[in-house]
Chain A
Amino acid sequence: MEIKEEKINSFTVVSVKGKLDASNSARLEEKLLSILDKNEENILINLKELDYISSSGLRVLLFTAKKIKELKGKFLLCELAPHIKEIFEIAGFTAIFTIYASKEEALEVK
């Protein structure tokens, strides 16, 4: 798994590439917590290049979303491949997360 971080407008965009599972989800959690530690409360997770996610990955996203909700920040997701989106649907995450088809659309959120 590769993680890339960039700042665009009011968002910190975190792109996750490859496989996100129990063996590396702690690495993503550390990265997301380090962003919140810098008082950056708007995070956009770009999953365009994510091939695989297990419940360990979803756990990290839910944990971060809960934290951001408390901080009254924004937590958005974008560009999920169909098989990844299906996992989010089974987990009921499409109802609790805001998911955009493209990064551009997500970044327009004020």
Chain B
Amino acid sequence: MKKLSIQIENTLSEVNRLILMVEEFGEKNYLPPETIFDISLSLDELVTNIVSYGFKQGEKSKISIEIAITEDEVAIELIDNGIEFDPTKSVDPDITLPIEERKIGGLGIFFVKQKMDDILYERKNNQNVIKLIKKFNKNKKMEI
């Protein structure tokens, strides 16, 4: 099992740093490009959300991310000290509405739900703990 542990501060530039590290880690471990894209996007959406809405303005905090790659899946654990937020309970946007009625926002968590095979949430010790599972097929041909 290959593992990557990262701790970042709650800023958007730190989210960029995180995504670059995740991409590099995925490439180094020969994850299919579409799997790297899916986990980068999901982490980006979740951590951007935490950074943007999880804390009071100016409040400094750390977010921990652990990624483990096994034979056929990527398991991710995300821990933050922000306000309680359960992404599995967020309401999906209505994607069938015409352009005038489409709401700006709400798509990020929806992407995570679409892209990941499993999302688990737990509030533990005043922290949000999110677990993601993404399965992949190492022998699959590249599509991109």
Given known contacts A55-B45, A56-B48, A96-B99, A23 and B105 CB-to-CB distance under 8 angstroms: no
CB-contacts of B23-48 with A (<8 A) = 33-34, 37, 40-41, 44-45, 48
Q: Are A55 and B100 in contact (CB under 8 A)?
A: no
- CB-contact partner of A66 in B40, B95, B100, B144, under 8 A: B100
Closest to A68 in B: B99
Q: How far is the CA of A96 from the CA of B94 in the complex (A)?
A: 13
Q: Are A90 and B108 in contact (CB under 8 A)?
A: no
- The reply on A101 being an interface residue by CB < 8 A is no
Q: Are A59 and B114 in contact (CB under 8 A)?
A: no
CB-contacts of B53-112 with A (<8 A) = 95-100, 102, 104-105, 107-108, 110-111
- CB-contact partner of B15 in A23, A63, A90, under 8 A: A23
Q: Are B105 and A59 in contact (CB under 8 A)?
A: yes
Q: Are B41 and A87 in contact (CB under 8 A)?
A: yes
| Inter-chain CB contacts under 8 Å: number | 74
Q: Residues of A within 8 Å of B, CB-based: how many? A: 24
Q: Are B96 and A92 in contact (CB under 8 A)?
A: yes
- The reply on B12 being an interface residue by CB < 8 A is yes
Question: Closest Cβ of chain A: how far from B104's Cβ, in Å?
Answer: 5
- The reply on B13 being an interface residue by CB < 8 A is yes
| Chain A residues in 8 Å Cβ range of B105 | 55, 59
Q: Are B44 and A22 in contact (CB under 8 A)?
A: yes
- The reply on B52 being an interface residue by CB < 8 A is yes
Closest to B112 in A: A55
**Contact flags (1/0) for A39-83 with B, using CB distance below 8 Å?**
000000000000010111011001101100100000000000111
> With contacts A54-B41, A55-B107, A95-B96 known, what are 18 further pairs, Cβ within 8 A?
A21-B48, A23-B13, A54-B44, A54-B48, A54-B111, A55-B45, A59-B104, A66-B102, A69-B99, A69-B100, A83-B34, A83-B37, A90-B110, A90-B111, A92-B95, A92-B96, A92-B97, A95-B95
Binding site for B on A (CB under 8 A): 21-23, 52, 54-56, 58-59, 62-63, 65-66, 69, 81-83, 87, 90-92, 95-97
Binding site for A on B (CB under 8 A): 12-13, 15-16, 19, 33-34, 37, 40-41, 44-45, 48, 52, 95-100, 102, 104-105, 107-108, 110-111, 114, 143-144
Q: Which 10 A-B pairs have the closest CB atoms?
A: A92-B95, A55-B108, A55-B107, A96-B99, A23-B12, A22-B48, A54-B44, A90-B114, A59-B104, A91-B107
